[in-house]
Amino acid sequence: MGNGLAVVHDADGLGDEDMQSFAHWTNLSETTFLLSPTSPGADYRVRIFTPGGELPFAGHPTLGTCHAWLEAGGAPAQSGVVIQECGVGLVPVQRGERLAFAAPPLLRDGPVDAATLDSVLRCLALDGGDVIDAQWVDNGPGWVAVLLRDADAVLRVKPAAIEGKIGVVGLHPSGSGAAIEVRAFFEVDGVTREDPVTGSLNASVAQWLLGSGRVTAPYVATQGGALGRAGEVHVAQDADGTIWVGGAATTYITGTVDLP
């Protein structure tokens, strides 16, 4: 009921084309490949591929890959935390009630210019009156996000052809079990797709909404309802300001794959 992920162990012998081909074949939002670390302090290195290309960082693949690495016998150097090496650098993953990664710094933030906002509105089939705020929230994949008037408005969005990566956010009523509703849209091979649960977007949206005072931590974000999924993302914040993004991970399929 969340977001599927394929994790390939012992991938040091695979080349770029091998990884991309297999990720395209799985047709999942992401497929990851576990590699030996190259950075001091890292427990493992991961490369993250969508069906159409490689990402420097993604959230649900970070949690799923860490889960798979630990389940296969991985032993972190530090007690209680796993250090993942990926395209954006080193990402700490806490071990507790659930795995949670530290939100990486934003590569681009700030208000969205008028031309970009017009493009986003066209992609989402919305008009300017539907949007309360819009912000760059890019922590690697390229996210731009819009805040709508409430969670119901988010669930009613029926996008047209998507360009880039667009997040849509709305607040649930006070007293609800969740604070915000999130949806994530992007394009693969010319086809608009919606991600069931998106850790990277939730991480950057948390930085935006917590920083602007629109929400307080800890909180729960729901995602995937429009797709018949039941994703829950748990967001917390340390006293030093570090934002932690967590969720449950469960293994459903294990096996071996012969690549050509």
Q: By CB neighbour count within 10 A (0-12 exposed, 13-18 middle, 19+ buried), where does 68 fall?
A: buried
> In a 3-state reduction of DSSP, which class is residue 184?
strand
Query: What's the pLDDT score for residue 146?
Result: 98
Query: What's the pLDDT score for residue 39?
Result: 96
- pLDDT tens digit string along 175-231? 999 999 999 999 877 889 999 999 999 999 999 999 999 999 999 999 999 999 999
Which residues sit opposite 34 in a β-bridge?
A: 46
Query: What's the pLDDT score for residue 258?
Result: 85
Residue 135, both tokens: 């912000």
Q: 78, 102, 79, 50: which is closest to 241 by C-alpha?
A: 102
Specify the pairing of strand 5-8 against strand 30-35. parallel
DSSP letter for each residue of 112-140? PPHHHHHHHHHHHT--GGGEEEEEEEESS
Mean predicted lDDT score pLDDT of the chain: 95
User: How many whole angstroms separate alpha carbon 257 and alpha carbon 240?
Assistant: 43
CA R_g for the chain: 18
Query: What's the pLDDT score for residue 3?
Result: 94
Enumerate the active-site residues.
Answer: 30
Residue 158, both tokens: 């029926």
Q: In which residue ranges of the chain is pLDDT below 70?
A: none
Handedness of CA 243, 182, 212, 119 (dihedral sign): positive
Q: Please, how many CA atoms are within 13 Å of residue 81, restricted to the half-sphere of its CB?
A: 11
CB 245, CB 199: distance < 8 Å: yes
What is the pTM for the complete model shown? 0.92
205: enclosing H helix or E strand: helix 199-211
User: How many whole angstroms separate alpha carbon 147 and alpha carbon 152?
Assistant: 12
Domains of the chain from N-terminus onward: 5-103 (3.10.310.10), 108-245 (3.10.310.10)
